[in-house]
């Protein structure tokens, strides 16, 4: 089963020092991976896609 992450987990993956609002801005960029699902509670992404995006940004 693929591991999913939301805004809180992405914030931690990015170092934890960003605001939730800033993470929402980052995840809305066109180069950020598309969400795996759009739920009522918010979007979720495949963790491996987010990890790859972070790796390519450094």
Model pLDDT for residues 11-21, shown as the tens digit of each residue:
999 999 999 99
Sheet holding 42-46, edge to edge: 4-5, 42-46, 37-39
Note the pLDDT tens digit of each residue in 5-56.
999 999 999 999 999 999 999 999 999 999 999 999 999 999 999 999 999 9
Helix (H) or strand (E) segment spanning residue 44: strand 42-46
d(CA 38, CA 18): 22
The structural domains of the chain, with segments of one domain joined by +, span 4-57
H/E stretch holding 57 reads helix 47-57
Q: What is the pTM of this model?
A: 0.91
């Amino acid at each position: 089963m693929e591991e999913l992450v939301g805004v809180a987990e992405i914030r931690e993956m990015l170092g934890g020092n960003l605001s939730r609002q800033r993470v929402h801005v980052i995840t809305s960029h066109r180069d950020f991976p598309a969400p795996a699902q759009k739920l009522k509670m918010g979007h979720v992404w495949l963790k491996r896609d987010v990890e790859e995006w972070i790796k390519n940004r450094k």
